[in-house]
């Protein structure tokens, strides 16, 4: 089998067989196919697409390209969550211990932020001593003793995805639905979870701006889960405005801890509970997760989870020393808060990265002091900016200048939960 022939076949609109896609995954994982040929094939897929059978076969080949976690012997049902990325989306930090407090085992393999969207691992690394990299044995042990783990995916888990993702990032082939879906689902299938809830963000601050395209991605991933024996549901959620009040790393950890203690912003609590309920439903557990937030048991699991990975859950997290408050220039009602602009401001302040190898500031970010629909007076604080130095502060100030619109009409926030997508 010549890879050049497969490039030409997809370029001309042909359908790949499962054997051909297994060849692609094997050749990419083993370094047998050069980057320039893989890049050409990725572009052909992006332009010509893949049908359902091809996407299923590619996902299976990618999942089988490396090792699995081997979680079959755990005494609890296993459920996970994946978000397509947003602004202020620290839900994983509260959801994993909450679901564990309800009786689930939660093996949550997470990633780092890029651009204006934050990464769960970056947020947790603001906790002194916490480590993201665990061996498979450590993951299994922690799931048995604590019930939840949030960590980096090991190099052996669907290794072909790491190579394909790196090429997609630099060849303008990121937006292909079959490639996005197979990337996400191959890792979750290799992980060995019984159930999966997908939080598919839609709106200005999301990777996907269009509702129809979000439905397409959600349906594709739900179908892939069903095809591989993973009970999967997708929840489409709004990302025109930031989620919660905190956008950054340490400040999002603090906000998640508030939620775990039964408080926190109402929208973060709403989404955390909605996703937890789906996870429990998928494995047949009848528990009200709200009780686990309000009685403190979810927070107790969080503390154990952080300690198990070397962190100090009681540590006071360092925040940026350079700070500035942005105030309203006029009185009125907050019509909108642009999640993309706020996310970019947090990135300029130092909370995000432009390249995967860049460092991030733990203490940088944006605190949103108002939400859509609030009445504000001229001079009232709207945002608090946090950075490590004045240069980053100045950059963040410029980025957030037009993030909020004040007008004369009343405006209520749009619903957070848009719709659910089942198989």
Half-sphere exposure of residue 285: CA atoms within 13 angstroms, side-chain side: 22
* Cα–Cα distance for residue pair 44/6, rounded to 1 Å: 10
Contact 81, 277 (CB under 8 A): no
347-350's contacts with Cβ under 8 Å and 24+ in sequence apart are 347/115, 347/116, 347/399, 348/392, 348/395, 348/396, 348/398, 348/399, 349/248, 349/320, 349/385, 349/386, 349/387, 349/392, 349/393, 349/395, 349/396, 350/320, 350/387, 350/388, 350/392
Q: DSSP label at 31?
A: T
Catalytic residue from among 83, 183, 219, 395? 183
Q: Which residue has the tokens 């909370």?
A: 351
Is 168 annotated in the active site? yes
Catalytic residue from among 16, 116, 163, 168? 168
Question: To 10 degrees, what angle do helices 18-29 and 52-63 make?
Answer: 40
Residues 6+ apart with CB under 8 A from 135: 154
Catalytic residue from among 122, 161, 199, 258? 161
Is 187 annotated in the active site? yes
Other CB atoms within a 10 A radius of the CB of residue 313 amount to 17
Burial of 396 (0-12, 13-18, 19+ CB in 10 A): buried
Is 161 annotated in the active site? yes
Catalytic residue from among 187, 188, 201, 215? 187
Is 82 annotated in the active site? yes
* Cα–Cα distance for residue pair 330/404, rounded to 1 Å: 12
Q: Is 81 helix (H, G, I), strand (E, B) or coil?
A: strand
What counts of helices (H) and strands (E) characterise the chain?
A: 16, 13
Catalytic residue from among 10, 60, 78, 82? 82
* Cα–Cα distance for residue pair 167/169, rounded to 1 Å: 5
> Which residues are part of the catalytic machinery?
82, 161, 168, 183, 187
């Amino acid at each position: 089998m010549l890879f050049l022939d497969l490039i030409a076949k997809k370029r001309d609109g042909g359908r790949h067989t499962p054997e051909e896609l297994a060849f692609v995954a094997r050749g990419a994982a083993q370094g047998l196919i050069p980057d320039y040929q893989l890049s050409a094939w990725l572009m052909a897929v992006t332009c010509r697409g893949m049908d359902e059978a091809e996407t299923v076969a590619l996902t299976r080949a990618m999942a089988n390209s490396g090792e699995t976690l081997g979680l079959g012997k755990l005494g609890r049902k296993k459920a996970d969550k994946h978000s397509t990325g947003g602004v202020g989306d620290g839900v994983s930090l509260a959801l994993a211990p909450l679901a564990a407090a309800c009786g689930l085992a939660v093996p949550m393999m997470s990633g780092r932020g890029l651009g204006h969207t934050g990464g769960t691992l970056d947020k947790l690394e603001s906790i002194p001593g916490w480590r993201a990299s665990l061996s498979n044995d450590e993951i299994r042990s922690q799931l048995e003793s604590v019930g939840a783990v949030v960590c980096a995916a090991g190099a052996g888990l669907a290794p072909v995805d790491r190579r394909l993702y790196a090429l997609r990032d630099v060849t303008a082939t990121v937006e292909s639905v079959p490639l996005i879906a197979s990337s996400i689902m191959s890792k979750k299938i290799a992980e060995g979870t019984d159930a999966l809830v997908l939080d598919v963000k839609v709106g200005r601050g999301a990777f996907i701006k269009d509702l129809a395209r979000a439905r397409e991605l959600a349906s594709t991933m739900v179908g892939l889960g069903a095809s591989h024996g993973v009970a999967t549901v997708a929840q489409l959620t709004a990302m025109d405005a930031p989620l919660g009040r905190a956008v950054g790393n340490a400040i999002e950890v603090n906000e998640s801890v508030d939620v775990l203690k039964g408080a926190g912003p109402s929208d973060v609590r709403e989404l955390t509970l909605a996703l937890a309920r789906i996870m429990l439903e998928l494995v047949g557990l009848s528990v009200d997760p709200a009780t686990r937030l309000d009685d403190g048991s979810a927070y107790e699991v969080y503390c154990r989870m952080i300690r198990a990975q070397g962190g100090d859950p009681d540590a006071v997290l360092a925040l940026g020393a350079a700070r500035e408050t942005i105030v309203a220039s006029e009185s009125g009602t907050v019509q909108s808060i642009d999640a993309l602009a706020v996310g970019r401001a947090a990135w300029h302040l130092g909370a995000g990265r432009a390249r995967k190898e860049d460092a991030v500031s733990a203490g940088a970010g944006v605190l949103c002091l108002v939400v859509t629909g609030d009445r504000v007076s001229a001079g009232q604080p709207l945002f608090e900016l946090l950075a490590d130095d004045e240069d980053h502060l100045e950059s963040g100030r410029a980025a957030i200048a037009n993030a909020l619109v004040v007008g004369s009409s009343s405006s209520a926030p749009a619903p957070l939960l848009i719709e659910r997508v089942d198989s």
